[in-house]
Every structure is written in C-alpha cells, then in structure tokens.
Structure 1
C-alpha cells in the first residue's frame, strides 16, 4: 500500500471530514518566501523539525522550495521528530505500524486513528492511540469511529481483533449520524441506513438492518482468526467498499455508497476484547 502524506484533522478530539486526506496534498506552494526561500534544505529541515503538523501545513504553502523540503523525504528529520512527539512509544516499538513504510505515514495514521470523543461510553482508546478496548458491560453493543472521514478519493486501512469476537464483531463504515452504542448484543454497524458492515462472526454483510448476503461469495469461506489483519478499501469515486485478507482480494462488499462523509468504524460486544485500526493511505492497484 502506498503511504501518502498525513491527512488534516486534530490529533485527538472530534472527528472531521477529509477530501483527499493529504498534507499539502494536491498542490505545492507557489508564492515567494523571500530570503527564507533561499535557505538550504538542511537548515529548513532543522527549523521545521520543531513545528507542529498544523504549522507544517502552512509552511508547505509558502513556496515550492519549502514544499519540496517537507514532502521530498518521508523519513526526514522533520517527520521523524514529529512522529516521536505525536505517537506513543508503544505504537512505535511494537508491530502495530509495521505496514507503514515511513515516519510521515505513521504520523498520518495517527491523525486517522479512532476518536476518543466519538465512541461508545463503554470503550476507551488505549495509550498506543490505535487500539480500542471494550469494557465488560453486559447487554451492550459498543462502537467507535475514526477522527477523520472521507467524501472523496480512495482510502485503505487495516483492522484486527486482539481478543474474542463474541457473537457479533463488525467492521465497516458509518456516517456521523450512525449510533455508536445500543442495548443488547446486535450488529450495531449496519443496523440502519447510516452504516455498512461485515460481521466477522457469521460472514454476513449488513446495511439498513438487513443481511445483504454472505461475504466473501465463495463456498466454505474461512472464518476470521484472532489477530488476522483485514484490509478495508473505500473508493469514494466508484462508491464501493471492498475487503482484503492478507494479500487476497475478497471482492467488493457494497456498491452505490452515498456521496457523504464516511468514517472507518467498528462495533463489538465481547467484554475486554480489543480492536486495532491503522489507516494506510491510498491503496495500490493490482
């Protein structure tokens, strides 16, 4: 998977909607930075390494020289420093981010992680910043959305369970209006017209409170194994949602998605289970 620049949005707090999701993504600075525009790249890199992401976005718009300095090397000191300041040590020293090739990609993934302010009251986001923990609350189904949703472009992320699934364990997408908690043990994601989900327990596709068939569409589809990473691919241009297991493309699960802001989301029922979600960026074709 390719790893584009980090997307806009606060590192913590409420969720927002992103079009393409790239820092300085679609264009470079075209103005003049005066004397600053003539500074050596190494000097600029040193200065930029002390700035926060919002400040770096503004710097990228100053001139082409500054833009190239920021976006030319995804493992530069600028992104290494920001990564070290923004991400928890646990996230950097474990294999949570093993499929992200650069410091810049890791910063971007953190910007797109679960929102601490947009989840059920019965879950919390662990200190690593990427893993949801569901508390052992009886007769409750609990979910979470990411900080940033998408209305344009193509996006991919990985999701995996690190504990028992229980009777229902759903991954997919949701609008801002979809509920993230309900009574009982149900397939919360896919329970209304505001969310779309794949139940990993029985392999059913769910939307608008109805089962939309089994997935993947093959005989004797293998059951999900705890710890197995599922790749989710959202294409807002074709309006589709697809899944991959390992390097196997499982197919398109949903078509005709609405042109609204859609957020990566999950819902869980098992007490003390944990779910990790890592945003990867734009998917590679083929």
Structure 2
C-alpha cells in the first residue's frame, strides 16, 4: 500500500522512506492508495477554516424632491421610518473591506474594494462572489432598528414581492441561550439579558424580560456586521476598533468609542466569499456558520 500526502512546495521521494511509502503534502487531503483503488479523506490536521470578506457602507437618505428624492416617511405614531423607493437614498459611501477568519478580524487590504454596487478585487477588477447584504437603519430611540436582508438601494420596496416589500424589526431565533438574528423570525427579544456585547451593540431594548444567561449572537452575517458598524461613528472608527484595538475576536470586547446610533443613520453591509480560501469560504460553509455553528459574537 502507498500513502500520498501533499504539503505545498515539499515532496519526499519514496526512495527515502521505509517500506516504499511515497509522500507529498497537501493542506487539504490525505490520499491512501492500494491495489483496490484510491480513497481520499480529509486530514484532520488540515481541516478547512471558514472565512469571508465584509464591508459596511454608509447610507444617506435623499428627502429633497427638488433633488430627485422623496419626502420623509413617518409611521402611525409620527416617527421617521426608512424610504421605500430607491430614489429616497443618496449614493453609498464605501467602507473598507475586512476579512473574518475563524473569528479573527483582519483588514483585507486595498486590493479589495466596494465600487458601483459590487465587491471587487484588484488589479484584475474581478467581481467578488456576493453572499448576502443587509440594510440597517437606526430610526430613533422608540422605533430602534429597522432592517431588510438586501441592499435597499437596488429595489423599490413599495412595489416588491415578499420578503422585500417592507422593513422589519430585528428578530431572533433561539437555540437554548444562543440568539440567531434575522428578519421575520420568532422572537422579538434576545435569549438572555447578560453579556457586555448586548450594550456594545445597542441591543439593551432587546434584552429578554427574564434574567437569563445568554450564549451570544449568531444568525445573518450581514446583519451582525451592520450592528458592529453601528457601534462606531464611521468607517475610520470601525477600522480602529477592529484592527488597532482587536475588539472583535469572537468575544466582543468593550471599547472606548462613541457609538454611531444616530437618528436616520443607515448602513448597508455586504458579505462576500473569500477568494483566498476557496475551500473554506463557500455558500454552504457560511450558511452553516450562520445557522448551525455557535456564537459569532459573545
């Protein structure tokens, strides 16, 4: 029987090994070959890590009809709510691209940018594979957050089909004491009350009514990124918090930065597959991260 294992840039000739083994190295697989054929299994020491790229763009409203905008909207209580037509928005201000890599946050570098509604990688101007987007607004202290799981600047919500025909409050799905955030799911409160991350993300009003522990937050990745963006005033502060202060390493540490939950502020957050990790950054892997794995923030 011969066993082949490959690690990049290293090959050991079979003549240098006992019992006729031939070994090469690959970070992904362990291949065993014998007279009956070949079988490939994952090498436990080199399991794929999960990663994705993300950014958070500033979104401003256009409420001036003389400038092609729409008059402000209010709800039944006379409080401001986000636009339902795309001409109610001004162009987005692009945010930097970051990489989430097994719970660690890195600056993706200037070769990754958002431009014209797409994530791009330079110098080849290749389009990144889009996974998801969330548009999130902080309306006011009464209405709090309103969201939709799409880039609201690309559709007319008023004439769209479900589920893109309205704005939604933040809602959650429980797995014991873990909260998975999304639009239009079962619970309007978090699964628990404690955890410094709750106040850091401005979710005090969403605390569970009972004094229950909380394991953390998971669910829609773009929504989680948008909530983190709202904990900072702008993209420069977000960069400082994530990269210089290393504030998000699974655990969201308390950081001394003014929050950005200003009335009528909007953010569009985008999630992209990581082209530098083709095996560990797939649609299935990110779906598993959102809805099967443990907390993304705690």
TM band (smaller chain):
under 0.3
- TM-score, normalised with respect to structure 1: 0.24
Name which one, 1 or 2, has greater alpha-carbon Rg: 2
Q: Whose RCO is larger (CA < 8 A, sep 6+)?
A: 1
- TM-score, normalised with respect to structure 2: 0.23
